[in-house]
Structure 1
Amino acid sequence: MTGSTTQGIKTVLHPVSDLAAATALYTALLGVKPMAEGDYYVGFEAEGQQIGLVPNGGPQAMTSPVAYWHVLDIEAKLAEVTAAGATLKDAPRDVGGGRLVATFTDLDGNVLGLIQDR
């Protein structure tokens, strides 16, 4: 095996058109109340998974759910996947608390995400 490994998919963001309605539905589905609620994001922690709701597709104009792989070194992992044929979509950026996120597309145009916690 070459390169750095991931810590697995722990976060999935879902674009929603009605944040309040989606919050109610995901609360019922997951059986827990949101751990974070704002106008721009509602987040749940359920069985070790972070499920996020992003209104109106969010800043990245999401059109479908995006799975985020947690990594120790986001820059190194981006270098590995782009060398293997991926295309950078959104460069790493701090979304608060030192958490870095980035997205890329695979060879078929699927959007995948990376998260690095500092």
Structure 2
Amino acid sequence: MLRGMATVSYYAADHEAAKAWYTEFLGLEPYFQRPGYAEFRIGDYQHEFGLIDRKYAPATQDAPGGEIVYWHVDDLEATVARLLELGAKEFEPITERGPGFVTASVADPFGNVLGVMTNVHYLAVLAERS
């Protein structure tokens, strides 16, 4: 059974540029690095965000796509605006999915889809753990 997200991996042909871009966006340095790999710990549960040189990707694709991991954010509009300011392109606009569930996604400059959302269930789980 799935117990929780351990690591999400993003790939980039220009690993150093991607590392700099995500360091700027996240506002922190990777906590672990080796050639072709950098890992950030982010969020309330310190999830692992892995950034990997595309040469290690199991398959290639010509356009952003596939699964989308949505990261909860407190200010969706500001987060999307910041991502676009840093050079990401809108993949899916801000869309209300139901009461308390609003999503958006962007394609980062390296071809990965990054999902962001506000999610009342995430906040409820976080409150229970406090």
What range is the shorter-chain TM-score in? Answer: 0.3 to 0.5
Between Structure 1 and Structure 2, which shows a larger proportion of helix residues?
Answer: 2
Structure 1 length-normalised TM: 0.46
Per chain length, whose mean CA-contact separation is higher, i.e. which structure has more relative contact order (CA < 8 Å, sep 6+)?
A: 1
Structure 2 length-normalised TM: 0.42
